[in-house]
Structure 1
Amino acid sequence: MIDIGINLTSPQFAGEQDELVERARAAGLSALILTGTDLAGSQESAALASRWPDYCFSTAGVHPHDAKSVDEQTLAALRELATLPQVVAIGECGLDYNRDFSPRPVQDAVFDAQLALAAELNMPVFLHCRDAHARFIEILAPWLPELPGAVLHCFTGTDEELDECLALGLHIGVTGWICDERRGLLLREQVARIPAGRLMIETDAPYLVPRDLKPRPKRNEPAFLPHIAQVVAACRAEAPEVLLAHTRATSAAFFQLPIQE
């Protein structure tokens, strides 16, 4: 298994990263991709990833919440960070019109700038979209021919949004949201429609604790990815080992990870 989204820089993991990575290994995970959500966090994620070569990797980008903090120096620093061997994607970038922590025109411009950077560097993008699908697609679509890949992480959209994302060639990241009996029912139906080769799995730890874990932990972590994978496989009427094989291969190829089969 490969967890394509873990926020290892979260204060919830402070001082516990070594133990968390060891538990992930023990749970059968082949690799972890640490999410960068602002410049400082991207730098910290890259530094953490360097502690576990060829097991931990990272992304470099600015989440829409923090778009208002971006200037030309930020983009130059991200460009330099992206040259590190452990940095495998640009992001988390995109739009969040739900909370509007940054003004929407600023979110739009910073998203477009990061897509341009990814195209310049020939790197895939790790994407975020919440309550902004139409504008998200409007900005993203012209860049797709110039990008080696794009994954919309933590997908929770409508059927129509999923269809449009798939038609455009996006990969889809599925989290423990699918384990939520209140909010995850639609995703349980949708996940069966995501073709093998386009589906990835993730925890988004420490967030999105699978609600059906008993006893329910206080926070999420990569060691819980096998549980999420079991639920995804069941929803797809797929043997768990089949799901694990194709999601692992898809993630390794997408991020060009040096993972031996």
Structure 2
Amino acid sequence: MQHLIDIGVNLLDKQFQNDRSEVIERALQNGVVQMIVTGTSLRNSKQGLEIAKEYPNVLFSTAGIHPHDAKTFTNNTIDELEQLAQYDEVVAIGECGLDFNRMFSPQDIQEECFEAHLHLARKLSMPLFLHERDAHNRFCEIFANFMDMTEKSVVHCFTGNKEQVKKYVSMGFYIGITGWICDERRGQALQDAVKYIPLDRLLIETDAPYLLPRNMENRPKNRRNEPSFLPHIVNEIAKFMGVKPEVVAKHATENTRKLFNLPEPSLDI
């Protein structure tokens, strides 16, 4: 299979603190040649940048505040994120967006934080790494004022239905698909929805250590997802899109390089 790129890995999660280097090596051995470390808070984004620096041309990072952490947002936050974004390793603004599922941060604060990220990405002409859960309509309403940014943005870890994905595609977004598609219980709507994602708007990710594919053989007993499992997710996406895995891999890799302006991987990988 062609080289793969995992656009969303939470490598700073405590589940990886004891064997992060081994996790990265297993990914490389399984054809996942580049990974983007997700920044979910200011502190987390700074740490992600430092880890990315340790693996040049393999790891990259994002800089942003997850909606769960929007309550930590201050007037200085955007200035600090802008400083982080000056580094070559930082390839997107985010993870940012709206999450009305658990409401760990109040809606008005989430929306203020989200719009500040959108303005920053526009100012810097950078891609956006987006989060949306149970907030589809409001998310689209806010983006109505940022339609120039949709084609430089990915709705990461999409788990919605075909009507929602059709709306996102019509607006111009890239769509990130995870191992949620491997869940025969909760993933049925997504299994149907991927048929409506054009190949030139598809991106792939594990969201590791979360969302371990349920139908994977020899699943780890610790139930931890890893970027090395991305080929399994590609196979499932291909099955429900009605194409060969090589087609999914080719387009997702090309799309990722285009969106995040990633260099080609080192020849010795």
Q: State the AA in 2 paired with 1:68.
A: K
Change (3 A) 1:133 1:146: closer
Structure-2 separation of matches of 1:229 and 1:146: 27
Aligned equivalent of 2:111: 108
The 3-state SS of whatever aligns with 1:229 is helix
Match of 1:201 among 200, 204, 217: 204
Q: State the AA in 2 paired with 1:106.
A: I
The 3-state SS of whatever aligns with 1:95 is strand
Residues 61-120 of structure 1: per-residue CA shift (max 9 Å, x gap): 000000010112111110000000000000000000010000000000000000000000
RMSD: 1.2
Q: Is the CA contact 2:191–2:240 (under 8 Å) kept in the aligned structure 1?
A: yes
Aligned equivalent of 1:119: 122
Aligned equivalent of 2:245: 240
Aligned equivalent of 1:38: 41
Structure 2 unmatched runs, 5+: none
Aligned length: 261
Residues 238-260 of structure 1: per-residue CA shift (max 9 Å, x gap): 11111111110001111000126
1:230 aligned to 2:235? Answer: yes
Structure-1 separation of matches of 2:151 and 2:176: 17
1:256 aligned to 2:265? Answer: no
The alpha carbon displacement at 1:158 in A equals 2.4
Aligned equivalent of 1:165: 168
The structure 1 segments of at least 4 consecutive aligned residues displaced by more than 6 Å after TM superposition are none
Range with greater deviation from structure 2 (29-38 or 140-149): 140-149
Matches within 5 A, 1:1-261: 1-146=4-149, 149-217=152-220, 218-259=223-264
TM-score, normalised with respect to structure 2: 0.95
Q: Is the CA contact 1:7–1:35 (under 8 Å) kept in the aligned structure 2?
A: yes
Structure-1 separation of matches of 2:102 and 2:150: 28
The alpha carbon displacement at 1:144 in A equals 2.6
Q: Is the CA contact 2:8–2:38 (under 8 Å) kept in the aligned structure 1?
A: yes
Residues 188-228 of structure 1: per-residue CA shift (max 9 Å, x gap): 11112110110001000000000011222220000000000
Structure-1 separation of matches of 2:157 and 2:201: 14
Structure-1 separation of matches of 2:182 and 2:16: 22
Q: Is the CA contact 1:118–1:147 (under 8 Å) kept in the aligned structure 2?
A: no
The alpha carbon displacement at 1:33 in A equals 0.4
Q: Is the CA contact 1:123–1:148 (under 8 Å) kept in the aligned structure 2?
A: no
Structure-2 separation of matches of 1:254 and 1:174: 15
Structure-2 separation of matches of 1:66 and 1:190: 29
Structure-2 separation of matches of 1:238 and 1:147: 26
Identity across the alignment (%):
49
Q: Is the CA contact 1:93–1:126 (under 8 Å) kept in the aligned structure 2?
A: yes
Structure-1 separation of matches of 2:233 and 2:256: 16
Structure-2 separation of matches of 1:147 and 1:137: 10
Structure-2 separation of matches of 1:137 and 1:98: 16
Range with greater deviation from structure 2 (232-241 or 121-130): 232-241
The alpha carbon displacement at 1:146 in A equals 4.6
The 3-state SS of whatever aligns with 1:142 is coil
Q: Is the CA contact 1:60–1:81 (under 8 Å) kept in the aligned structure 2?
A: yes
